[in-house]
A and B are shown apart, each in its own frame.
Chain A
Amino acid sequence: MANKYLHIPRLRRVYVWEMPVRFYHWLNALVIVVLIITGFYISNPLGLLSHNDASHQYTMGWFRYLHFAAAYIFFFNFLFRLYWGFVGNKFANWKQFIPTSKRFFKEMWAVFKIDILMLKKNGKEQDHLSIGHNAMAGFIYFLTFIAFLVQCLTGFGLYAGMSSWWLPKLFAWVPAMFGGDILTRQIHHWSMWFFILFAVIHVYLVFYHDYVEGRGEISSMGGGFKFIEEEMFEKNAHQTPNPQKVK
């Protein structure tokens, strides 16, 4: 019976996203949603009609508490991911994100042509190159890491003044650099929009890749596996993720 299937490309199960990466991803997604919602509330709280005295409610207090608690989780989760970029598998390696070679840029350009312009090569639709992140995605994630950094710096910078712990106090230089809290708060608020725009594009592209590649893109962040055509696997084993020297 087995030979019946031979004309269909055999798929190889590849363990792409390790457990810590998946855990990081979903925790990150959760806290970012919490941070955006609470952040919006803090920046422009709803008009509450209440007959209660102030002492009977703590609405703004709770939103701020959630925001700060989520921010701490976000921060340590982020640190953990940076660490995992050095000890995790090659799909999680920092080299996936930071362009360090000409090849990275070439691949980014190729991805741009394949996925965004949808150009054909010799009249044929082009195959997708990557098993883990493609170079373009990796680079965009690098930008998100910078956005994470900006939010951590400005957020903890604003928080430093009201904290008695040494960790947030380490960020006290940030508002001083911007000449005060007013501009720091604005940068914190503006940068938040990056996360919203990123989320929209990110979720769309996950569906897009799942749809076009048929490799289990969506479920890969659940179980960790992607299913790669044998042929592609052989061809790209050394090429993607981001160049490892061929022996």
Chain B
Amino acid sequence: MNNEIIPKQPTYYEEVERKGYSRRDFVKFVSLMTAFIGLEQSAIGQVAKALETKPRMPVIWLHFQECTCCSESFIRSSHPIVADILLDKISLDYTETLMAASGAQAEAALQNTMTKYKGQYILCVEGSVPLGADGVYCMIGGKTSLQILHEVAEGAAAIIAWGSCASNGCVQSAKPNPTRATPIHKIITNKPIIKVPGCPPIGEVMAGVIVHYLTFGVIPELDRIGRPKAFYNKRVHDTCYRRPFYDAGLFVESFDDENAKKGYCLYKMGCKGPTTYNACGVTKWNGGTSFPIQAGHPCIGCSEENFWDNGRLYERGSSFAGFGIEADADTLGKVALGVTLGAVAVHAVATNFGKSKTLHEHQAEGNESEHELES
């Protein structure tokens, strides 16, 4: 890997050819990507043209507080061209995990891309940024991740926040969040940010986001939370193949019961599918092989903010923290109901003493009227 920037960048298609893929492979890849990013068939030509004519996009891929599962997911995307060309090429400039360079060489490559392509490069961030203790929890090359992020984000055209860490902080920001792990959008506010949450996000989704940007030169349409609509506008529940069991009211009651064997809905096992927005039910994982629910495990909602703090993974009941023993909302409700009923009963008894005079007067009045009716 060299530090020199080649003046004329080869296009993606040139790279595909150079790597020995056939035209047929390339068209297959394009069709796949077009389908994933939710475009109609007629857009295949547009995507192909973009990859044939556009020079490869300079990309800097930063790794902060993360486990690299996003990168792992990405290189396992179903089509080999994703790993071979997209990642290989886009990560050419700088990515701690996969680049050959190290130390001063690597940092020089980073500086080089930042200055040469100022305002043009895409910044991909994997991992959250620790703000606690002046950021010492995550330092690279003597700089804190916060410093690096600010420096690199400065000249970026757009930022892709890969995975739950960069999108919402993921597990390291779970209470009490000792390192003050912070997602990217809370630090950088003046750049377009695409959130691609998930722990990890689906490889095809990641590839799709990049291909979309390559093709159209603009970031894909985002929802209110900042996720690409093409992949995050449906709940896992809405595309789940076990949905008919949910609507029928047929649920797995425990992991080893008859219902589990029959493949009933995992709702009562705490499945977060109904509250999780992701493409798992459609795109699936590992080249469309399976996804958690298909394997008999409830969705844990890994692409949702605070999924680790918002209640338990295997229960639907919502817990209240801070009651010593974590209290279930319904248990607390029942206690409150009991207390209320008790208070009402006490008040009812007290009324007969406290208001005895009024009550007697009313009664006397009523009795009198009754007698007078007779006379």
Contact status A60-B246, CB under 8 Å? yes
Contact of B365 among A8, A56, A124, A212 (CB under 8 A): A8
Contact of A208 among B248, B276, B340, B348 (CB under 8 A): B348
Determine the main DSSP class of A at the interface with B: helix
Contact of A176 among B224, B340, B369 (CB under 8 A): B224
The answer, yes or no, to whether A172 is at the interface (CB within 8 Å) is yes
Contact status B251-A212, CB under 8 Å? no
In the docked arrangement, what's the CA distance between A4 and B372, Å? 8
Q: How far is the CB of B180 from chain A (nearest CB, A)?
A: 17
Name the B residues within 8 Å of A44 (CB-CB). Answer: 268, 316-317
Q: How far is the CB of B361 from chain A (nearest CB, A)?
A: 9
Q: Which residue of A lies closest to B336 (CB)?
A: A197
Contact of A179 among B306, B336, B355 (CB under 8 A): B306
Name the A residues within 8 Å of B306 (CB-CB). Answer: 179-180, 182-183
Interface string of A172-185 (1 = CB under 8 A from B): 11001001111111
In the docked arrangement, what's the CA distance between A193 and B332, Å? 9
The answer, yes or no, to whether B168 is at the interface (CB within 8 Å) is yes
Contact of A45 among B268, B358, B372 (CB under 8 A): B268
The answer, yes or no, to whether A201 is at the interface (CB within 8 Å) is yes
Name the B residues within 8 Å of A57 (CB-CB). Answer: 248-250
The answer, yes or no, to whether A125 is at the interface (CB within 8 Å) is yes
In the docked arrangement, what's the CA distance between A61 and B304, Å? 25
Within 8 A of A (CB), among B205-232: 223-225
Contact status A118-B354, CB under 8 Å? yes
Given contacts A118-B354, A161-B235, contact A197 B337 (CB under 8 A): yes
Name the A residues within 8 Å of B267 (CB-CB). Answer: 45
Q: How far is the CB of A230 from chain B (nearest CB, A)?
A: 14
Contact status A116-B347, CB under 8 Å? yes
Name the B residues within 8 Å of A201 (CB-CB). Answer: 340, 344
Contact status B354-A200, CB under 8 Å? no
The answer, yes or no, to whether B274 is at the interface (CB within 8 Å) is yes
Contact status B248-A182, CB under 8 Å? no
In the docked arrangement, what's the CA distance between A124 and B358, Å? 9
In the docked arrangement, what's the CA distance between A159 and B303, Å? 19
Contact status A204-B304, CB under 8 Å? no
Name the A residues within 8 Å of B366 (CB-CB). Answer: 214
In the docked arrangement, what's the CA distance between A57 and B247, Å? 8
Interface size, chain B (Cβ < 8 Å): 57
Interface size, chain A (Cβ < 8 Å): 50
In the docked arrangement, what's the CA distance between A4 and B341, Å? 44
Stretch in A47-55, A78-86, A238-246 with 4+ CB within 8 Å of B: A47-55
Q: How far is the CB of B175 from chain A (nearest CB, A)?
A: 14
The answer, yes or no, to whether B301 is at the interface (CB within 8 Å) is yes
Name the B residues within 8 Å of A5 (CB-CB). Answer: 369, 372
Contact of B368 among A8, A182, A193, A200 (CB under 8 A): A8
Contact status B304-A58, CB under 8 Å? no
In the docked arrangement, what's the CA distance between A59 and B116, Å? 62
Q: Which residue of A lies closest to B257 (CB)?
A: A47
In the docked arrangement, what's the CA distance between A63 and B248, Å? 10
Contact of A183 among B276, B310, B354 (CB under 8 A): B310
In the docked arrangement, what's the CA distance between A212 and B301, Å? 54
In the docked arrangement, what's the CA distance between A150 and B68, Å? 40
Q: Which residue of B lies closest to A9 (CB)?
A: B365
Interface string of A13-29 (1 = CB under 8 A from B): 00000000000000000
Question: By CB atoms of chain A within 10 A, which of B337, B358, B372 has the most?
Answer: B358
Interface string of B287-312 (1 = CB under 8 A from A): 00000000000000100111100110
Name the B residues within 8 Å of A63 (CB-CB). Answer: 249
Contact status B244-A54, CB under 8 Å? yes
In the docked arrangement, what's the CA distance between A189 and B317, Å? 9
Contact of A200 among B301, B317, B337 (CB under 8 A): B337
Contact status A186-B329, CB under 8 Å? yes
Interface residues of A (CB under 8 A from B): 4-5, 8-9, 43-48, 50, 52, 54-61, 63, 116, 118, 124-125, 161-162, 172-173, 176, 179-186, 189-190, 193, 196-197, 200-201, 204, 208, 211-212, 214
Question: Could you list 22 examples of A-B contacts with CB < 8 Å?
Answer: A4-B372, A5-B372, A45-B267, A54-B247, A54-B248, A55-B248, A60-B249, A118-B351, A118-B354, A161-B234, A161-B238, A180-B275, A181-B277, A182-B276, A185-B275, A190-B329, A196-B333, A197-B340, A200-B341, A201-B340, A208-B351, A212-B355
Q: Which 3 A-B pairs have the closest CB atoms?
A: A59-B249, A118-B354, A179-B305
